Structure 1
Amino acid sequence: MQLLDWIILSCTLLFIVTYGAIKTKGSKNVNEYILGSNETPWWTVGLSVMATQASAITFLSTPGQAYHDGMGFVQFYFGLPIAMVVICITFIPIYHKLKVYTAYEYLEQRFDVKTRSLAALIFLVQRGLGTGFTIYAPAIILSSLLGWNLNLMNVVIGIMIIVYTVSGGTKAVNVTHKQQMFVIVTGMVITFFIILNYLPQELDFNNALHIAGANEKLNILDFSVNPEKRYTIWSGIAGGFFLALAYFGTDQSQVQRYLSGKSVRESQMGLIMNGILKVPMQFFILLIGVMVFVFFQFHSAPLHFNPNNTRLIEKSQYKESYHDLEDQLNVVANEKKEISLLYVDQLSQDYDNKELHNKMIALNTREKDLRDQAKELINKADKTAETNDKDYVFLYFILNFLPKGLIGLLLAVIISAAMSSSASGLNALASTTTIDIYMRHTKIEKTEKHFVDATKIFTLIWGVIAILFACIGSLFDNLIQMVNIIGSIFYGTVLGIFLVAFYIKYIKAEAIFWSALVTQSVVILIYKLEIMSYLWLNVVGASMTIVIALLLQMIIGNSKAKTVQS
């Protein structure tokens, strides 16, 4: 990185942290600290909702996902717009009418305190894990870039986030989200056009898409009904709908964003804004990953993208074998560039040469085989090494091919995204701990200032816990999938509780509480046994919670009826 990159990166991050801390400090009561005094306009609600979901993992991991597996991941978001409509019609009016601070307060009014506490505890577990991963993602970048200790970077980034979140609460989160989304959108748009500019002159955007399509990177829709396949149009609409409904409707990190809206209408407009823009945004980010793939058809790419693993192999007995694979990859890369240019020339004449097409696919298959062999060598050198390098693809491109100045901007994009989603997570974790656990179970009367101070302390505590979770982030596969897997394991059960609360008045507290406990245990078991794709866990969790609760309520009802008769 050049001096200009460091200046842009440092100034951007310092401005966000300082602005957020100074602009919003001094909250006098719980409403102001947790809900921002309900003064947030709809467009800020929309940006804040988008920024909360768009973590650094989105911008770091998603292009790598597209580079390796193509555009199919976009199907994951197909159920989101439908979920936004349902939440706007049902969830938001109820939350605003009851004037709750957290989503889980409503559950006590509908059921009882133990159901409220159970839902809050499930949220705290999964959001604590998720927030840790959103800190870990940008730590990968700086540790790889600077050669610093990864855990040290987790701590540094975590502290930056804690500073303004503790200081200003929800207002600080909402205010900083506007700056962060501006940086994010600007950086990604500039990067997309720079990639296109770096492609050979004779290769226009349409022909670039042809190359991507020839290598099966543009297979967006998969109508397969195989439940083991992760991304299909059915899992996207059904599983994605349930996950989005649970995330935006019951996850406090999102609920708190629109509970701070000026009115029901402002909150609804903010969510509709997210529903309209989210799928196109994810499509665009995946398309950037696909264009990076096309770029590397004409430029050399490393045998393995994770620099930590390449340093590891250089110190091992498998060094020479690894270098032999690199030499083979160089031969393949040269052939691939030659064939790709010939293929582009044919495309410019409106002729899709099948022989060149097949050769190009064969070369990319050969390249994949060499990369797999490299992963085997890395695994032999260190059994604990994570050989999946999807999260490093876009990072490698940023650091090695973007012009000076833009590298700093892109790093600011990714770290800003981490700060936005992590700040929302910490803010929600602290609010839920204060309102649903501490305040609800405190017998002695306390002042408003006491609970504001308690929320700040819980923000700090959860910040430390998230940093600890971040320090184990290297144990997992592709991060964008890991975050969604964690959500899918827990969200279905919580969503089932809320759907019963909203729509099935027949079911009472005892039935839903035990149903939720049983369902959560079964869903974890299903995931461990790998019975189906994780996206279906949302459907299974929500459906099972409802069905078991209905059965239990019938049993409890019959039991009570017999008792009365006797």
Structure 2
Amino acid sequence: MSTLDWIVLFGTLALIATYGVYKTYGANSLDSYLRGKNSMNWWSIGLSIMATQASAITFLSTPGQAYEDGMRFIQFYFGLPLAMIIISVVFIPIYYRLKVYTAYEFLENRFDLKTRTLAALLFILQRGLAAGITIYAPAIILSTLLGWNLTATNILIGSVVILYTVSGGTEAVSITQKQQMAVMMGGMILAGIIVIQMLPISFREALHVAGKMDKLNMINLEFDISDRYNVWSGMTAAVFLFLSYFGTDQSQVQRYLSGQTLSQSRMGLIMNGFLKIPMQFIILFIGVMVFVFYQFFLPPVVFNTVQTDKLRQSEYAGELEELEAEYAVNFEESKIYYLDMLKAIDAEDKRGESEIRDKLTGLKSMQNRIRDDVKELIVTNDPLAETRDTDYVFMRFVMDHLPKGIIGLLFAVIFSAAMSSTASELNALGSTSTVDLYKRSIKKNASDKHYLKSSKLFTAFWGIGAILFATYASLFENLIQAVNLLGSLFYGTILGIFLVAFFMKWVKGQAVFIAALLSQALVLFVHFRNGDVADGKLWDIGFLWYNPIGCLAVMLFAALIQAVITPGKTSVD
């Protein structure tokens, strides 16, 4: 990167972190530290909620996913507005009435201490791991692209977040997220405008290319339980995930518990429900435009060019050169066919258009075969090498083709996204550890000042833990799917506990506690036996369905166990 890019990158990050510390330094009570003095208005809450969910994984992985798989991922969010309405009507009023610091305090009021502790521990387990991934995700990509040491990159991201999160608590997180959100979406929209302007064809023709190559596949009405992303999974299984994430995950609950009033918190949540889909559309569409761009400008045979550079220095350099030459010939032939297809579309020659599309599909298969051959060479040269390169697509395009200054801004987008989501997670982990575990079960009668200090120490502890986990983590198939999978393993059980609390008034603590343990075991069993049936697995279902399985299992088991414990009782005592 150029000197200008470095100035833009580090200047942006330093200004955001410094502003957060300056505006919130000196929180002098546990209430102000955890609930931010209840000072947030609805649009600040909405931006904070969106920034918490929009991690670096969103901006790294989503464009690459669109490049490879089209826009069908957007269907994952179709049920989000419905989930936001349900949470606004059912969840938030209860939290406000009880004046809780964490969502899990409500469970002790409704059930007992052990159920509250179990839910808090499940949250801490999955969110503690997720915090590591949200640091690791940008670190592995950025360290590779910039030539930095991975551990040093993890430490840099984690340390900056720990600094302002420990200093100012919830208010610092919310304040910095407004600036981070402006940088993130401003940078991405600017990148989208630039890539469209760089296309050698018109915008209308670009849409034709994307459509004919199945990249604008936003709606799939076919029901397939093994498909992660279609309308049915988005409107059913994903709703359970969103209900649990936004309604019971403390990293999100803490965002709207800092609202000035119940109405402000509701409006912030609804704002997220109706702006998240357009936001994801923009990010996915940028990925599609990058795909169109690379149909007319030769892309790297593997987007993680660090791996191919290593191959050039090895004994397999000659084989790589041959494969790259074959890839270039294939690309030039494809480019001619794309231009011919656009002519056929203009001439309304359906038959010619169909024939050309078939030829392009065949050429695309050959390109994928060449890419696979190169990846095999990479692994042969280095068995530990990572060959999945979807998450490198967007930033490779940025580094190779965008002007100076914009490159630094786009790297600031990734770092800002990592900081915003990680800060919320650490803030929530510190709160839950202090309020639900330490204050409730370990040291019950200390001073407010002691608990304020404890919350800061727990926040720092989880920050250091996230850095350590990130340092020893390994790359998943796709980072955004990794986070959703991790949440799906635990969210269903947690949501089931809350729904029993809200709607099954006759069920008591002992029954729901046992039901939660059984349900979590069931979800883990389903996951570890899930996969390709041809490989000996028992079934093949998309991981989003773990959420309704876990939730409904808790409700069913709780009802059955309560019926055994107190036969004949089906109403409130």
TM-score over 0.5 for the pair: yes
| Aligned position for 1:251 | 249
Shift of 1:240: 0.9
User: Post-superposition shift, 1:142?
Assistant: 2.8
Q: CA deviation at 1:303?
A: 1.1
User: Does residue 304 of the first structure (1) align with residue 302 of the second (2)?
Assistant: yes
Match of 1:536 in 2: 545
Classify the secondary structure of the residue corresponding to 1:558: coil
Contact 1:48 1:174 in 2 (8 A): yes
1:488 paired residue number:
488
CA contact (8 A) 1:386 1:476 kept: no
Cα distance, 1:316 vs. partner? 4.1
Match of 1:335 in 2: 333
Q: Match of 1:33?
A: 33
Specify the alignment match of 1:23 in structure 2.
Answer: 23
- 1:264-275 mapped onto 2 (5 Å cutoff): 264-275=262-273
CA deviation digits over 1:320-361, x for unaligned, max 9?
322221111111111122222222333344545223222222
Alpha-carbon offset, residue 444 of structure 1? 5.1
Q: Which consecutive unaligned segments of at least 5 residues does structure 2 have?
A: 531-538
Following the alignment from structure 2 to structure 1, what is the Cα–Cα distance between the partners of residues 388 and 509? 45
Q: 2-side partners of 1:479 and 1:308: how far apart?
A: 19
Q: Deviations over 1:241-294 (max 9, x none)?
A: 000000000000000000000011000000000001001111111111111000
Q: Scaled by the length of structure 1, what TM-score is found? A: 0.96
**In the aligned structure 1, how far is the partner of 2:486 from the partner of 2:149?**
26
Deviation at 1:385, TM superposition (A): 2.6
**Retained in 2: the 8 A contact 1:131–1:422?**
yes
2:559 corresponds to: 550
1:110 is matched with which residue? 110
Q: CA deviation at 1:408?
A: 0.7
- Quote how far apart the aligned CAs of 1:406 are: 0.4
Specify the alignment match of 2:533 in structure 1: none
- What is the aligned partner in structure 2 of residue 290 from structure 1? 288
Distance in 1 (CA, whole Å) between partners of 2:143 and 2:344 is 44
Offset at 1:315?
4.5
Residue 130 (structure 2) pairs with residue 121 (structure 1): no
In structure 2, what is the Cα distance between the partners aligned to 1:456 and 1:141? 30
Distance 1:71 1:9 in 2: 29
Fraction of identical pairs, as percent: 53
Contact kept in structure 1, 2:256 and 2:265, CA below 8 Å: yes
Partner-residue secondary structure (3-state), 1:280: helix
Q: Structure 2 CA distance, aligned partners of 1:549 and 1:308? A: 53
Q: Indicate the SS of the match to 1:370.
A: helix
Query: Deviations along 1:72-122, whole A, 9 cap, x unmatched?
Result: 111111111100000000000000000000000000000000000000000
Asked if 1 retains the 8 angstrom alpha-carbon contact of 2:46 and 2:269, the reply is yes
> Residues of 1 paired with 2:207 and 2:312: CA distance?
37
Residue 258 of structure 2 aligns to which amino acid in structure 1?
Answer: S
Helix, strand or coil at the partner of 1:28: coil
**Kept after mapping to 2: 8 A contact 1:207/1:347:** no
| Bigger shift: residues 435-444 or 15-24 | 435-444
Q: CA deviation at 1:362?
A: 1.9
- State the shift of 1:418 in Å: 0.7
Q: Distance in 2 between matches of 1:185 and 1:217?
A: 22
Give CA-to-partner distance per residue, 1:50-89, whole Å, 9 cap, x none: 0000000000100000111111111111111100000000
Contact preservation (8 Å) 1:79, 1:242: no
Q: Which residue of 1 aligns with 2:101?
A: 101
- For residues 444 and 76 of structure 1, the distance between their equivalents in structure 2, rounded to whole angstroms, comes to 42
Letter in structure 2 aligned against 1:460: A
The SS at the match of 2:505 is coil
- 1:471 aligned counterpart, secondary structure: helix
Distance (whole Å) between structure 1 residues aligned to residue 305 and residue 164 of structure 2: 32
Equivalent pair of 1:102/1:255 in contact (CA under 8 Å):
yes
Out of 260, 263, 268, which is 1:262 matched to?
260
Q: Would you say 1:478 and 2:478 are equivalent positions?
A: yes
SS at structure 2 position matched to 1:212: helix
Cα 1:318/1:472, change in 2 over 3 Å: same
Alignment correspondent of 1:369:
369
1:437 equivalent to 2:449? Answer no
- One-letter code of the match for 1:305? F
- Quick check: 2:49–2:272 contact (8 Å CA) kept in 1? yes
Aligned position for 2:534: none
Matches of 1:199 and 1:19, distance apart in 2 = 38
In structure 1, C-alpha distance between the alignment counterparts of 2:96 and 2:281, rounded to whole Å: 33
- 1:513 — aligned with what? 513
Aligned twin of 1:564: none
Which aligned pairs between 1:202-281 and structure 2 lie closer than 5 A? Answer: 203-281=201-279
Amino acid at match of 2:5: D
What is the CA–CA distance in structure 2 between the aligned matches of 1:161 and 1:155, rounded to whole Å?
Answer: 10
Could you tell me whether the CA contact under 8 Å between 1:47 and 1:178 is conserved in 2? Answer: yes
Q: 2:428 is matched by which residue type in structure 1?
A: A
Instruction: Give the number of aligned pairs.
Output: 559
C-alpha distance in 1 between matches for 2:310 and 2:132: 26
In the aligned structure 1, how far is the partner of 2:448 from the partner of 2:108?
A: 22
Q: CA deviation at 1:152?
A: 1.7
Contact 2:506 2:569 survives alignment (8 Å): no
Q: Aligned runs of 1:156-175 on 2, under 5 Å? A: 156-175=156-175
Q: Write the distance in 2 (CA, Å) between the matches of 1:442 and 1:196.
A: 58
Could you tell me whether the CA contact under 8 Å between 1:386 and 1:477 is conserved in 2?
no
